[in-house]
Amino acid sequence: MVLPAKIFEIKGDFDFPLIVERLKSFREEEPYQADEGTGGNLVTEVLDLEEREGAVTGVFSRDFIREHYYRRGAIKTTTTEEAPFWITRSGNRGFLIVLAPSGARGVRKLLTGQVANKLSELFFGSVGEIVEVRIPNETLKELHESNPQATNLIWFDDVDIPSVTKLCLSGSGLADTGLYQQYLGHGKIWYVVFQVQKRGIVVGITRNGVITLFSKSTLDDFMNYILEDLLTLIE
């Protein structure tokens, strides 16, 4: 199972009853015209809304127009992407967690960011009140160094070696502490894949809050890991 999610922070005032009220009433329609004069409305809405223990969950649904090649011509068709999301608190901070939908990689990235921007507009009237999070390089460094045997892969960015943008350690290279320290001296940890032994799962974490599950697990267990273990790591 490969299941990516992205964490955002809600910077605006966290008025939970107002958030729930606006999610319940949210629906947008945009007219479109497809091939041969056919048309209709592209719908953006929130489905399956549910309140649970100080959090709210739902599915952000958006219709798209896609083109595909058929008999030497481009055919436009409508499709729907759905992205489950969670809105919750951790301490005195509010967070939005969006599960990337199935589909092409670019669509997943596009829709995940669109959820954050659209909900920012819905809750606060403007984009920019729901923002990307940052997990410090030092935190990812501590995660690896606390149990190096559990780490499968490390990517470094912000590399100061000319003509080199990224460095990678995997396999036997992870056991070479000298090579690890050398890479750390030239860059920052951007991405680390490791086994969370107490939960029996393998995850990848980036500094901008993308969490990818690489092992068999239930969605509830994956979300519990994010909610209970990861939100506290965000700077």
User: pLDDT per residue over 160-212, tens digit each?
Assistant: 999 999 999 998 778 788 899 999 999 999 999 999 999 999 999 999 999 99
The closest alpha carbon to 141, from 232, 207, 210, belongs to 207
Distance of alpha carbon 119 from alpha carbon 9, whole angstroms: 12
CA distance 5 to 81: 15
Q: Which residues pair with 69 in a beta bridge?
A: 74
β-pair partners for 113: none
Q: Is the pLDDT of residue 130 over 80?
A: yes
Average pLDDT value for residue range 143-164: 93
Integer Cα distance of 47 and 32 in angstroms: 22
Please provide the CATH number assigned to the domain covering 3-132: 3.30.530
Q: Which residues are bridge partners to 165 per DSSP?
A: none
Q: What is the DSSP letter of 101?
A: P
- One-letter amino acid at 33 equals Q
Average pLDDT, the chain: 89
Contact 32, 39 (CB under 8 A): yes
Q: What is the pLDDT of residue 127?
A: 94
Q: Where are the domains of the chain?
A: 3-132, 137-233
Highest mean pLDDT among 11-15, 50-54, 139-143: 139-143
- Region 35-45: mean pLDDT is 81
Structure tokens at 234: 């965000």
Please say whether the beta carbons of 79 and 50 come within 8 A: no
Tens-place pLDDT, residues 96-108? 999 986 554 444 5
**What are the strands, taking DSSP E only, across the chain?**
3-10, 27-33, 39-52, 55-70, 73-90, 93-99, 130-132, 151-157, 167-170, 188-196, 201-206, 210-213
CB count within 10 Å of CB 65 equals: 13
For residue 129, the 8-state DSSP code is S
Measure the CA–CA gap between 91 and 85, rounded to whole angstroms.
19
CA dihedral 71, 72, 76, 80 (to 10 degrees): 70
pLDDT of res. 73: 80
pLDDT digits (tens, 9 = 90+) for 47-102: 999 998 889 999 999 988 887 777 878 877 888 888 999 999 998 899 999 998 65
